[in-house]
């Protein structure tokens, strides 16, 4: 693990880290799974975290060996339906949907001169940031449509450091998904996993909730 004193920037995931949208993504996919008759379970919900829209649909269908039952056009329709389900939930969002401790943590990072970037797989992240009133913190973010590979590939977190003009070793990546932690580790950054430490066993640092995300806790974990 890097030294805390070497850290100059933080690369954040959005869904499930900054805001509670991972529940909305799950609900929206659950509706599609019901529609096509694929059984839903918590393990599938966890496996979808951090995964791009189309890759998520393919995982859902493969969960019931249904991946070859749909044409590309049908899959595109299902993915669009999921996004419509999701956007209905996002429409209700306000700054109250920011997860505990995140707003003070972001303010503290800024006050201490750390650089921030956003490494979200979601094409909806600009809209979500707007609902949360957090756009000013994330002027640097990666357009997921510009990526060759989605999480767990390291590309997105590597780019998250690049856009800050930092080396990966100078960055901490923050994730709630196993695929995201794998991406951070592959990029050579220090990984913080938020949530179930068993699911996120590969993370350098584990916090059960976002409320534990403070510079003091991170410094202690890296000592
Ligand atoms: C990730 C979410 O942030 O974005 C995934 O964790 C989601 O659940 C992915 O599938 C893509 O999001 P969107 O909004 O482009 O469908
Ligand atoms: Mg996430």
pLDDT band at 1 (very low <50, low <70, confident <90, very high): confident
Q: Ligand 2 center to residue 69 CA distance, Å?
A: 29
Q: Are 138 and 126 in contact (CB under 8 A)?
A: no
d(CA 66, CA 84) in angstroms, rounded, equals 22
Mutational test site, ligand 1, from 46, 56, 127, max ligand atoms within 8 Å of CB = 56
Indicate if ligand 1 lies below 6 Å from the C-beta of 180: no
Q: Report the chain's terminal Cα–Cα distance, integer Å.
A: 10
Give the number of C-alpha atoms closer than 13 A to the C-alpha of residue 84, restricted to the C-beta side: 8
Q: Which residues surround ligand 2, an ion (CB under 5 A)?
A: 13, 15-16, 50, 176-177
Is 15 labeled as catalytic in the residue annotation?
yes
How many of the other CB atoms lie within 10 Å of CB of 59? 15
Best of 28, 50, 153 for a ligand 1 pocket test (most atoms within 8 Å of beta carbon): 50
Q: Is 23 exposed, middle or buried (0-12, 13-18, 19+ CB in 10 A)?
A: middle
Nearest alpha-carbon partner for 174 in 46, 8, 15: 15
Residue 148 neighbours by CB under 8 Å, 6+ apart: 155
What is the reported pLDDT for 123? Answer: 98
Q: What is the mean pLDDT of residues 175-191?
A: 98
SS3 180: helix
Q: 3-state class of 14 per DSSP?
A: coil
Length of the chain (residues): 223
Residue written as tokens 């003009």? 165
- The pLDDT mean for the chain works out to 97
In the prediction, which pLDDT does 7 show? 98
Lookup result for tokens 């109250």: 96
Q: Is the CB of 83 under 6 A from ligand 1?
A: yes
* Tens-place pLDDT, residues 28-43: 999 999 999 999 999 9
Residue 115 has pLDDT above 90, yes or no: yes
pLDDT digits (tens, 9 = 90+) for 116-172: 999 999 999 999 999 999 999 999 999 999 999 999 999 999 999 999 999 999 999
**Cα–Cα distance for residue pair 119/144, rounded to 1 Å:** 8
């Amino acid at each position: 693990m890097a030294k805390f004193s070497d850290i100059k920037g933080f690369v954040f995931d959005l869904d499930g880290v900054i805001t509670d949208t991972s529940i909305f993504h799950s609900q929206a996919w659950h509706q599609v799974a019901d529609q096509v008759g694929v059984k839903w379970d918590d393990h599938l919900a966890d496996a979808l975290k951090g995964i791009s829209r189309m890759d998520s649909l393919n995982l859902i269908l493969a969960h019931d060996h249904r991946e070859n039952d749909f044409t590309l056009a049908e899959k595109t329709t299902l993915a669009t339906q999921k996004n419509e389900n999701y956007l209905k939930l996002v429409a209700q969002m306000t700054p109250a949907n920011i997860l505990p401790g995140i707003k003070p943590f972001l303010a503290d990072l800024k006050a201490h001169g750390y650089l921030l970037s956003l490494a979200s797989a979601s094409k909806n992240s600009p809209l979500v940031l707007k609902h949360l009133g957090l756009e000013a913190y994330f002027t640097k973010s990666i357009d997921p449509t510009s990526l060759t590979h989605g999480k767990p590939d390291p590309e997105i977190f590597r780019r998250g450091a690049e856009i800050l003009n930092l080396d990966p070793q100078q960055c901490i990546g923050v994730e709630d998904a196993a695929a995201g932690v794998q991406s951070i580790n592959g990029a050579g950054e220090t990984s913080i996993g938020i949530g179930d430490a068993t699911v996120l066993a590969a993370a350098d640092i584990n916090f059960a909730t976002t409320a534990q995300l403070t510079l003091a806790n991170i410094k202690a974990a890296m000592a």
